[in-house]
Chains A and B, each alone.
Chain A
Amino acid sequence: MQLPDAEQLLIQLTESIRRDISPSTALVGIHTGGVWLAERLLQNLQLPLPSGTLDVSFYRDDFAQIGLHPQVRPSDIPFTVEGSHIILVDDVLYTGRTIRAAINELFDYGRPASVRLAALIDRGGRELPIAAQYVGAVVDVPSDKMLALEQSADGTLGLSLYSKIRDNE
């Protein structure tokens, strides 16, 4: 199937977020694709607050089924969450379970004034009442496929489709 150009979608995503930013807007990228996107969005939007990163491994709802992710990366929130307007950034929005975990983790750092969600791709298939306020594109992806963002050596972002089934991604 024909996948959209990630760099093109990033431009659209930047412009839709730009309308809503304030001095207390902060981006938080979800590992790994969301972290790359948040870095690029931060450059594009020139926000005053540094971006945070979340690895939601300690908050996932499938720990009892699949155990701890073999490569947990440290989460890092380098700004005061209390009172800030946070935009969570993820590459592909699917079941919504990762976002649920990310919101729970975020609240263990403090009480934000608001949390919104930006996703490069919304592929449907939600299992929780979660919606993104900023979406690059809505794409129909067969349920036995996995869509993932990749970063090439020069930093260019691209989308790839895999047959491998990974639950809750």
Chain B
Amino acid sequence: MSNNPQLNRNGQLQHLLTTEGLPAPILLNILDTAESFVGVTERDVKKVPLLRGKSIFNLFFEPSTRTRTTFEIAAKRLSADVVNLNIAASSQSKGETLLDTVNNLSAMHADMFVVRHAQSGAAHLIARHVRPEIHVINAGDGRHAHPTQGLLDVFTIRRYKPDFRSLRVAIVGDILHSRVARSQIHALTTLGVPEVRVIAPKTLLPTKVERLGVHVYHDMTKGLKDVDVLMMLRLQNERMFSARLPSTEEYFKYYGLTQEKLSLARQDAIVLHPGPMNRGVEIDSAVADGGQSVILPQVTFGIAVRMAVMSILAGN
């Protein structure tokens, strides 16, 4: 057995838990396969019969309408049957353990679990527990990882900036609590992006973040210089009123992306945001809706990337 729990003994993707440690050929295969699914989602019949008869369970232990919906749409466009479980509101409140919930659903012949959980490592725990024919996709676990978001972000970047070897990318915002930022950093560095910057106040950066291979900036004026890609992070509500930030107004003043700050980056720079956006907090409306924003294409490509991940896993 490989010591990477995501890979089967043939080195193929068995579960998608994190972008960390995934070899570049596997990442590239997901991105290339997603290219073919973009075409499918643009047709009149936005559906292929690939996963016909498969049952996919969306296990959302943490509320998320948007991510759950994108997984649901992806599964349906692959002709799978999808069951959505909002577990925060059901069994767990009756005292059932995580693995008992999974055992019950496995007994209903689930083929794939899509897991969102507030605890880091929840998807790993399920992946280690299930039978080998069941596949697990991590749809976000605590502060740890959100691999499909990281993959759809690199897919979007590749669509606009195909040559990763010459890119300068800046990730801006709450790196400390962001599973999205971690997944982005691992995917970008594995795919050969030579310079990944993180820009944030000291209170929103993990200690020793440089170990991830990123360059650290606390000042947007310096950090955005010559950047090709800006990846904005959502400032989560619970952080806005914590001791880590004086006020959202002050955060916007220093780190909110305005046209003026954006003009410090390269003229053809693109702006990404994983959504949902806090307009006037981490991003100004003029930028979010402006010509350099690729935020809505990210949503469209997110479906294709999730279709690619699901169909590669189901075939391995």
Binding site for B on A (CB under 8 A): 55, 57-59, 63, 66-68, 70-76, 104-105, 108-110
- Majority SS of interface residues in chain B? helix
- Find out whether the CB atom of A67 lies under 8 angstroms from the CB atom of B48: no
Instruction: Please tell me which one of the listed residues A68, A75, A109 contacts residue B315 in the complex, with CB atoms under 8 A apart.
Output: A68
Check: B311 CB closer than 8 A to any chain A CB: yes
Binding site for A on B (CB under 8 A): 12, 29, 32-33, 35-36, 38-40, 43-45, 47-50, 311-312, 314-316
- Find out whether the CB atom of B48 lies under 8 angstroms from the CB atom of A68: no
Q: Which residues of chain B come closer than 8 Å to A71, judged between CB atoms?
A: 32
Task: Give complex CA distance A72, B312 in Å.
Answer: 11
Q: Which residues of chain A come closer than 8 Å to B45, judged between CB atoms?
A: 108-109
Task: Give complex CA distance A72, B40 in Å.
Answer: 12
**Known contacts A68-B33, A68-B311, A110-B44; is-contact A74 B316 (Cβ 8 Å):** no
- Find out whether the CB atom of B43 lies under 8 angstroms from the CB atom of A108: yes
**Known contacts A63-B50, A67-B316, A68-B33; is-contact A74 B39 (Cβ 8 Å):** yes
- Contacts A/B (CB < 8 Å), 23 sampled: A58-B40, A58-B49, A58-B50, A58-B311, A63-B314, A67-B12, A67-B314, A67-B315, A67-B316, A68-B312, A68-B315, A72-B32, A72-B36, A73-B36, A74-B35, A74-B36, A74-B38, A75-B36, A75-B39, A76-B39, A105-B48, A109-B44, A109-B45
Name which residue of chain B comes closest to A57, CB basis: B36
- Find out whether the CB atom of B49 lies under 8 angstroms from the CB atom of A104: yes
Q: Which residues of chain A come closer than 8 Å to B29, judged between CB atoms?
A: 70
- Find out whether the CB atom of B36 lies under 8 angstroms from the CB atom of A59: no
Known: A76-B39, A109-B44. 6 other contacts (CB 8 A): A55-B36, A58-B40, A63-B314, A67-B315, A68-B50, A72-B32
- Find out whether the CB atom of A58 lies under 8 angstroms from the CB atom of B36: yes
- Majority SS of interface residues in chain A? loop
Q: Which residues of chain A come closer than 8 Å to B316, judged between CB atoms?
A: 67
Most buried by A among B39, B40, B311, B315: B315
Q: Which residues of chain A come closer than 8 Å to B44, judged between CB atoms?
A: 108-110
Q: Which residues of chain A come closer than 8 Å to B32, judged between CB atoms?
A: 71-72
B41 to chain A, nearest CB (A): 11
Task: Give complex CA distance A68, B47 in Å.
Answer: 16
Q: Which residues of chain A come closer than 8 Å to B312, judged between CB atoms?
A: 67-68
Name which residue of chain A comes closest to B35, CB basis: A74
- Find out whether the CB atom of A109 lies under 8 angstroms from the CB atom of B50: no
